[in-house]
Amino acid sequence: MTDWLERVYSAGNDTAKLAEVYDTWATEYDGSVGSLGYTNPSVVSALFARLMTDISAPVLDAGCGTGLIGWMLSVVGYENISGIDLSAGMLRQAEKRDCYRTLATAVLGQPLALPDAAFAGVVASGVFTVGHAPASAFSEIARVLRPGGVFVVSITDPIYESGGFRTAIDALVKVGEWERAAVSGPYIPLPGADDGHRHPGRVYAMRRL
Ligand SMILES: C[S@@+](CC[C@H](N)C(=O)[O-])C[C@H]1O[C@@H](n2cnc3c(N)ncnc32)[C@H](O)[C@@H]1O
């Protein structure tokens, strides 16, 4: 398991390399992170459900992976969930859950082939972490959110400042694209991992203006 974490955290900005690692990990991913008590999907889903009560609203699961969030949201009633991810292997696992309306490959940090204001909610769990998607993706996420929509995202503490996430959120607040709506308390996304991989994190929520 530590080997998988080393590999995904060390891919740097190389999205092809990261996709390859996740493609290879995909069939074992749920068991691996489950054995470490993975908490991101629960905290993201809980904060999202607090802020977005319309279960028919279109929701984008950005970096959906094998679909842990799609499953959690659909099991409590959300019925219009789409997913994107850079790993075709992870998307194949997500498809098996039969809870997404659409699934597509996409790279967060590059322009998304999605219309403006298409979604009332965007969730992202475990995607904005060490060696993964960049803060520059937030402007595209703001673009695909409709006014009043919410973006609920887990961000690991070690990269919140150094990865430019605070700056990216504040920049979009400053230009009137969104406001900060809520933030969770600190928690450990992988409580069963080795010390070097027990990065604390929080879930942040922004509301599109
Ligand atoms: C730790 S997994 C989290 C998956 C799922 N959201 C969950 O919580 O189980 C990270 C996922 O983000 C995807 N990912 C990483 N960087 C990405 C990027 N720049 N664009 C799209 N997907 C990305 C990976 O392929 C992987 O499926």
Rounded to the nearest angstrom, the distance between the alpha carbon of 64 and the centre of ligand 1 is: 6
Residue 177 belongs to domain with CATH number: 3.40.50.150
Residue 143's domain comprises 2-208
Neighbours of 108 (CB within 10 A): 22
Specify the pTM.
0.97
pLDDT tens, per residue, the chain with 209 residues: 568 888 888 777 789 999 999 999 999 999 999 999 999 999 999 999 999 999 999 999 999 999 999 999 999 999 999 999 999 999 999 999 999 999 999 999 999 999 999 999 999 999 999 889 999 999 999 999 999 999 999 999 999 999 999 999 999 999 999 999 999 999 999 999 998 888 899 999 999 99
Distance of CA 37 to the CA centre of its chain: 17
Residues with CB under 6 A from ligand 1: 15, 18, 22, 40-41, 63-65, 68-69, 85-87, 90, 107-109, 125-127, 132-133
Pair 186, 199: CB distance under 8 Å: no
Domains contained in the chain, number: 1
